[in-house]
Amino acid sequence: MNTSQEIQVTPHRGRGVIARYREFLPVSDSTPIVSLGEGGTPLISSPRLSAIVGRGCEVHLKYEGLNPTCSFKDRGMTVAVSKAVEGGTLAVICASTGNTSASAAAYAARAGIRCAVVLPAGKIASGKLLQAFAYGAKVVAIEGNFDDALRIVRRLGARDDFAIVNSINPDRIAGQKTAAFEIVDDLGDAPDLHLLPLGNAGNISAYWAGYREYRDAGNSTRSPAMIGFEAAGAAPMFHGRVVENPETIASAIRIGNPASWETADRAVRDSHGAIDIVTDDEILAAQQWLATQEGIFVEPASAAPIAGLFKCCEPARSPAYSFAQIPEGSRIVCTVTGHGLKDPEVMMDRVMKLTAVAPNEEAVLRAIGF
């Protein structure tokens, strides 16, 4: 029988990021808190990635797929929707590559307000689109890409009817800082390196703000080098110019003109980090590697920093940030941003190859190949 001492408690899981970190967030006693218990996601140590980096370095994965709508967007959305409700807004609107719309729809439902999402037609992973419908959002598909959708939303948001809950809303960025706080709280200090995917560049900006604020508050002694990875076909920051028709299988980072370009550039520069690119093949290989080697299934965009970590370990590939120089025992965190079930299409060809065999042990053993 379990005694109370034997029961493992994760005290922060399910509380929500505003309850846990309110002194760092733009809320007051009069802000109605709209929360689904986001945050408190596990920081999972990866022995196999640590072995690949070598020299006593530790790699940890911040598994953001375990948020209420299965991506990190929920951290920012709890703050953005709470502030929108405090301001008397009756509807939120966003452009989305998928996860922002899923999150906005859920938090709007929770708040009892309306939600409109503007999406590039045919470009949204099916799990994410399904979420927007399930939570009751008004979904509009446009014949254009994400950057077109965001341009429209910016104009509509200038009217009084809507609050924009894209990451151009500073409340979103404020909420997303809490992931950096959690990492410092779990590790006891900030890591040396932080790797993450780069799309609209809000998240890298949020992490950097979070690491700095937490250090200024005396909760850590340092801040990490921020290393962002764009998909090779959607790499405006890496190339230093807008990409008109971004293309990548990693739909969450299929963005040609990042809204937080300047703050992200500053984060990379001030942290002595880097921006690099990974190809779609590298992304898919890293996604499969992570699922089969560590039991962590993430969507393609989330595998970009894992593909990036492999690249950083191979000086011959001229990575923008080479791990050949990092000190022994460095601590590395990779954020894996969204759950693999959101994007079943990328796995579907393999699933479709499944054919039935005769219902007996011999046929099953033959099929297993043992």
Ligand X SMILES: *Cc1c(COP(=O)(O)O)cnc(C)c1O
- Shortest Å, Cβ 315 to ligand X: 27
CA distance 182 to 43: 9
- Shortest Å, Cβ 203 to ligand X: 3
Q: Give the x/- contact pattern for ligand X in 66-85, rule: CB under 6 A.
A: -----x-x------------
- Shortest Å, Cβ 21 to ligand X: 19
Should residue 302 be labelled a site residue for ligand X when binding is judged by CB under 6 A?
yes
- Shortest Å, Cβ 39 to ligand X: 15
Which residues, in sequence order, are CB contacts of 182 under 8 Å at separation 6+? 12, 39, 40, 41, 43, 62
Should residue 300 be labelled a site residue for ligand X when binding is judged by CB under 6 A?
no
Judged by CB under 6 A, the stretch of 39-47, 114-122, 200-208, 265-273 that binds ligand X is 200-208
- Tokens (6 digits) for 115: 């939600």
Should residue 263 be labelled a site residue for ligand X when binding is judged by CB under 6 A?
no
Should residue 330 be labelled a site residue for ligand X when binding is judged by CB under 6 A?
no
CA distance 195 to 167: 19
Q: Which residues are paired to 138 by β-bridges?
A: 116
- Structural Rg of the chain based on CA atoms: 21
- Shortest Å, Cβ 119 to ligand X: 13
Task: Pick from 157, 299, 309, 333 the residue near ligand X by CB under 6 A.
Answer: 299
Using CB under 6 A, count the residues that bind ligand X: 18
- What pairing do the DSSP bridges indicate for beta strands 58-63 and 331-336? parallel
CA distance 231 to 255: 9
Task: Pick from 231, 301, 306, 312 the residue near ligand X by CB under 6 A.
Answer: 301
Should residue 191 be labelled a site residue for ligand X when binding is judged by CB under 6 A?
no
Should residue 249 be labelled a site residue for ligand X when binding is judged by CB under 6 A?
no
CA distance 318 to 321: 8
- Shortest Å, Cβ 359 to ligand X: 40
Counted residue by residue, the chain has a size of: 370
Should residue 202 be labelled a site residue for ligand X when binding is judged by CB under 6 A?
yes
- Shortest Å, Cβ 366 to ligand X: 39
- What pairing do the DSSP bridges indicate for beta strands 43-45 and 58-63? antiparallel
CA distance 335 to 290: 13
Task: Pick from 18, 25, 198, 237 the residue near ligand X by CB under 6 A.
Answer: 198
Should residue 265 be labelled a site residue for ligand X when binding is judged by CB under 6 A?
no
Task: Pick from 69, 131, 169, 203 the residue near ligand X by CB under 6 A.
Answer: 203
CA distance 233 to 219: 39
- Shortest Å, Cβ 98 to ligand X: 7
Which DSSP helix (H) or strand (E) runs through 150? Answer: helix 146-157
Q: Is the dihedral of CA 174, 179, 181, 182 positive or negative?
A: positive
Give the CA dihedral 91, 163, 143, 198, nearest 10 degrees.
-130
Should residue 127 be labelled a site residue for ligand X when binding is judged by CB under 6 A?
no
The smaller minimum CB distance to ligand X, of residues 282 and 299, is found at 299
Residue closest to ligand X when measured from CB atoms: 338
The smaller minimum CB distance to ligand X, of residues 228 and 319, is found at 228
**3-class state of residue 41 by DSSP:** coil
Residue 170: is it exposed, middle or buried by C-beta count within 10 angstroms (0-12/13-18/19+)?
Answer: middle
- Tokens (6 digits) for 290: 């992570």
* Spatial contact of 177 and 236, defined as CB atoms under 8 Å apart: no
Should residue 131 be labelled a site residue for ligand X when binding is judged by CB under 6 A?
no
The smaller minimum CB distance to ligand X, of residues 196 and 326, is found at 196
Question: Rule CB under 6 A: which of 87-126 touch ligand X?
Answer: 99
Task: Pick from 85, 106, 253, 334 the residue near ligand X by CB under 6 A.
Answer: 253
Write out the residues near ligand X by the rule CB under 6 A: 71, 73, 99, 167, 197-203, 252-253, 299, 301-302, 337-338
